[in-house]
Amino acid sequence: MIMKQEIRTHVLVLGVGAILALAPGQTMAQTQIPPDPTFVKTQVLMQGDGVVSRQFFGRIAAVETIDLSFEQPGYLQRLDAPEGVRISEGQLVAQLDVGPFERAVQRAQLALAQAEREYNRATSLAQSNTGSAVRARDAETARDLAQVALRDAEEALDDARIEAPFNGLIADRIASPYTTISPGEPIVRMHDLSEVRVEFDLPERLLKQIGDPTRVDFETVLPGTSDPVDLEFREFRAEASAIGQSYTISLAVPDASDLFLVPGATVTVRASLDMTATGIAAPATAIIMDPDRATAVMVVGEGDNGQLIARRQPVDVVSQGGTTLAVTGLEDGAEIVTVGAHLLKDGQPIKRYTGLIVEED
């Protein structure tokens, strides 16, 4: 009985001591133990991190690829078009048998000479009132028709030859020599390499985010070279592909005359866009989105007792491709929480997590 009474006495003394330890006017219910700080991963945002780069699968392309053909039917006598060989503008590619065309020119010349004689004779008779004026006018019409027939025959003779319309590359030899060719039948397929192009497909969502493609800097490493070269924007096909919903961007390779670039060869295009003017680059995992679509980040700040705390900072966000965002409303050099910011409360104590080593204050 004496031992139990001593235990009750000690418990009572401890309880009274705890009550006396409270601040004046403070109850035990009002006393809270400060929460332990939450370890978070942070990142310091710098204005210089505003350049966003992406890589795309591209291919070498020609300015144009056309099929050359004859306007006249005939016998294909000559075909100088080795596949994969570069040819110069004006160089002979194919030729029909010119015999029938030369004879047609001779017939037209003889017919014109006869029509000229008939016209001169009818005109002389009409002037001397010996012949009819109507006959003179008919002779004049016949002479004009003979002149038109001669021009047609001469043009047909010229069309019996196909010359390269530009400096290019023979892509495919479609027809075979010593065969009869119909008008418009393809003879050879030719690439226009007066300017070498690089083409790649840009997804629709990226084109919307970029806006004007001329703002983007493009570069690539060409086959057979080691140093990257800058590419110049030329055009983009303003029709999205039916499956991938992408647009074809066409870039020009400057000073490519000394390089043997074949259309269809694969290259990697690197596209870089400076987003400094639109904000500071921030990872997508750092952005907090409220139900009302307002956006914010958790900035690392200092509390009253010198401990690190997370402070909510509203920001405006511009997408840079889905993985990196540009935010406005932050100062250059601001430190933010990059992972799990949506789980923190404004003013919550935090500590920087640096892997296996935890920073001690």
Which one is predicted more confidently, 257 or 205? 205
**Whole-number Å distance between alpha carbons of 199 and 56:** 10
In this prediction, residue 5 carries a pLDDT of 47
User: What is the token pair recorded at 240?
Assistant: 């999205």
User: For residues 132 and 126, is the Cβ–Cβ distance under 8 A?
Assistant: yes
18 confidence band (pLDDT: 50, 70, 90): very low
Domain residue limits, the chain: 38-50+278-358, 53-63+196-274, 64-89+165-194, 98-159
User: What is the token pair recorded at 114?
Assistant: 């006869």
Distances (CA, A) of 159 to 95, 162, 202, 354: 9, 7, 42, 77
The mean predicted confidence, pLDDT, of the chain is 81
- The domain made up of 64-89+165-194 has a fold known as OB fold (Dihydrolipoamide Acetyltransferase, E2P) (2.40.50)
In this prediction, residue 221 carries a pLDDT of 87
Name the class of domain 38-50+278-358: mainly beta
For the chain, counts of helices (H) and of strands (E): 4, 25
Q: Name the most confidently modeled range: 45-49, 67-71, 260-264.
A: 67-71
In this prediction, residue 9 carries a pLDDT of 39
Low-confidence winner among 46-60, 183-197, 315-329 (lowest mean pLDDT) = 315-329
Instruction: Kindly tell me the burial class for residue 298, based on how many C-beta atoms sit within 10 Å of its own C-beta (0-12, 13-18, 19 or more).
Output: buried
User: For residues 60 and 196, is the Cβ–Cβ distance under 8 A?
Assistant: yes
**Could you report the per-residue pLDDT of 203-217, keeping only the tens digit for each?**
887 777 777 788 888
Name the class of domain 98-159: mainly alpha
Q: Which residues make beta-bridge pairs with 76?
A: 96
**Could you report the per-residue pLDDT of 309-324, keeping only the tens digit for each?**
999 999 988 765 555 6
Direct distance between the N- and C-terminal alpha carbons of the chain, in angstroms, rounded to an integer:
52
186 confidence band (pLDDT: 50, 70, 90): very high
Q: Residue 38: CB partners within 8 Å, gap ≥ 6?
A: 344, 348, 349, 350, 351
Domain 53-63+196-274 annotated CATH 2.60.40.1940: no
In this prediction, residue 29 carries a pLDDT of 45
User: What is the token pair recorded at 15?
Assistant: 């309880």
In this prediction, residue 149 carries a pLDDT of 95
3 confidence band (pLDDT: 50, 70, 90): very low
**Whole-number Å distance between alpha carbons of 185 and 24:** 105
281 confidence band (pLDDT: 50, 70, 90): confident
In this prediction, residue 360 carries a pLDDT of 56
**Whole-number Å distance between alpha carbons of 121 and 127:** 10
In this prediction, residue 276 carries a pLDDT of 59
Q: Which residues make beta-bridge pairs with 270?
A: 55, 219
Q: Residue 65: CB partners within 8 Å, gap ≥ 6?
A: 171, 189, 190, 191, 192, 263
